[in-house]
Chain A
Amino acid sequence: DIVMTQSPATLSVSPGERASLSCRASKSVGSNLAWYQQKPGQAPRLLIYGASTRATGIPARFSGSGSGTEFTLTISSLQSEDFAVYYCQQYNNWPYTFGQGTKLEI
C-alpha cells in the first residue's frame, strides 16, 4: 500500500495568516491526489483534486500544488471557518489511502 504522511500533525496559526500543509507519498502517485476538509461532527468535504484543481464552490484562498511524492495545500489567508482537520488522499493505486490528517487550530 502507498503510505501518505502529512505534516505537521497540528498547525497553530492565526486568522489572516497563511498556512501550508504538507503531504508526502511513499511512492509516486503522479497528480492523483485530493485534499479534504473535515470539521467536527461533519463528513469530509472535497477541496482539491488532481493535486491542484479546486472543487466547485471552494474559495480561491485554497490552492494545491505538487506532483509525484510531494504535495502542499496552501490556505492564503485563514478565515475562522477554515479551522478543521485536513486529509490528503492518493487515488493512483488501490487501495486508495489517506494521510493521517493535519489539524489546523488557532
Chain B
Amino acid sequence: EVQLVQSGAEVKEPGESLKISCKGSGYSFSNYWIAWVRQMPGKGLEWMGIIYPGDSDTRYSPSFQGQVTISADKSISTAYLRWSSLRASDTAVYYCARQGNDGSSWYNPWGQGTQVTVSS
C-alpha cells in the first residue's frame, strides 16, 4: 500500500524554527514528486511547492518562495518542510501528497496532515 505518514502536531512560538516530515512507503520514493499544501483554519487548499526526491529538484509557488524550505532525504524516504522563523500566520494544517502514478501532477495519496500552531 502506498502511504505517506506525517509527523505530529506542533505548537511553537513566533520566531522559532520548525521542520516537519513526510515519510513515504510502499513505492519507490525517489521517483515521484512530493508536494506540500497549506490549509489555513477554515480555508481552502494552497500549493506551496514540490520536490523530486531523486535529485532534490524543487519548485516553489511564488507565494511561498523564501518563506519555507522544502527538502528530501531519499535514503530514508522522507520529505521535509522547514521554517526558519515562524509567524502566527503560519498556523495551519500542512499536507504532503504524492504525484500520480501516470507521471501527471494530480496527487494521491495524501498524508494525514500536520497541525502547526504558532502562538505566544
Closest to B48 in A: A95
Query: Is A15 on the interface with B (CB-CB < 8 A)?
Result: no
With contacts A49-B100, A95-B61, A95-B62 known, is A44 near B106, CB below 8 A?
A: no
CB pair A89–B59 under 8 Å, yes or no, is no
A106 to B71 CA separation, bound complex (whole angstroms) = 42
CB <8 Å contact, B108 and A55: yes
Taking residues whose C-beta sits less than 8 angstroms from the other chain, chain B's interface range is 20 to 34
A87 in the interface (beta carbon within 8 A): yes
Determine if A97 is an interface residue (Cβ-Cβ < 8 Å): yes
Give me the interface of B with A, judged by CB distance under 8 Å.
Answer: 35, 37, 44-47, 50, 59, 61-63, 95, 97, 100, 104-113
Chain A residues at the B interface, C-beta cutoff of 8 Å: 1, 32, 34, 36, 38, 43-46, 49-50, 55, 87, 89, 91, 94-101
- Which 6 residue pairs of A and B lie closest in terms of their CB atoms, listed nearest first? A91-B105, A49-B106, A34-B106, A46-B108, A95-B61, A43-B110
If A36-B45, A46-B107, A91-B104 are given as contacts, then 10 extra A-B residue pairs at C-beta distance below 8 Å, sorted by A number, are A43-B111, A43-B113, A44-B95, A46-B106, A49-B108, A50-B104, A89-B45, A89-B106, A95-B59, A98-B46
